[in-house]
Amino acid sequence: MFDLTGMTALVTGASGGIGSSIARGLAQQGARLALSGSNPSKLRSFREELNDEFGHDHVEITCDLSNKEQVEHLIPATVDTLGKIDILVNNAGITRDNLALRMKDEEWDEVIRINLEAAFRLMRAAVKPMMKARFGRIVTITSVVGAAGNPGQMNYAAAKGGLTAMSKSLAQEIATRGITVNCVAPGFIRTAMTDQLNDAQKGAINAKIPMGRMGEGEDIGAAVAYLASWEAGYITGQTLHVNGGMAMLG
């Protein structure tokens, strides 16, 4: 099940903690990947690692998502390199946390530009070749924060909530073309960043999670692989919450 052999995928933020787990999950199921990010050396190293482990001749495409011209070039570059694009995973994102009264315009603008606007531009561009092929999978990584909110993250919550609403709208527009559009909303996932927390901080977080622990990157990778598969062809406009029961959202 969930065999992605013969499919191609673009993953943004591919060398990060969750991004690398998503890329690994797709590669493990047989997809050939275009790995995108802003750090060329990290991308190259990760690509070589994937090629050694799974084969498929994966490629890397550097892109600064804050640069509109580079974003507009990313889908055409993926199609030129891989020959087609079957799966788009909008994973890249940043945080610029601050309380509302202290939040600077730049902190708002940067998060919206990279987390929300860049995803819109990539979706809009990817839909064209997908419609021509009458097949496509668009999966966007949102967050429990986009549904539940979080103090100090008005910008991030607005972007993540916007991604969900945007995905639902696009899903309705292109459902008859064989293209699905869904979201995966992680809760607390163990990454290099959360590993820096002390035991008391980790304990406070785990106490909020019915399963009593943070999730792993592989949990997100598996969710994305499922939504990208043929088997998920009748699922669109949905958000799959992967949070250990921390927020039981419909």
Model confidence pLDDT, tens digit, residues 210-222 = 999 999 999 999 9
Instruction: Tell me how far apart the alpha carbons of residues 229 and 122 are, in angstroms, rounded to a whole number.
Output: 20
Homologous superfamily of the 8-242 domain (CATH):
NAD(P)-binding Rossmann-like Domain (3.40.50.720)
Low-confidence ranges of the chain (pLDDT < 70): 250
Do 49 and 27 contact (CB within 8 A), yes or no?
A: no
Nearest to 193 by CA among 217, 174, 209, 211: 217
Of these residues, 156, 158, 174, 214, which one is catalytic? 156
What are the φ and ψ backbone dihedral angles of 198, each rounded to 5 degrees?
-80, 175
**Is-catalytic flag, 156?**
yes
Nearest to 140 by CA among 100, 98, 92: 92
Q: Which amino acid, residue 44?
A: R
pLDDT tens digits along 110-161? 999 999 999 999 999 999 999 999 999 999 999 999 998 899 999 999 999 9
The kind and range of the H/E element at 128 are helix 118-133
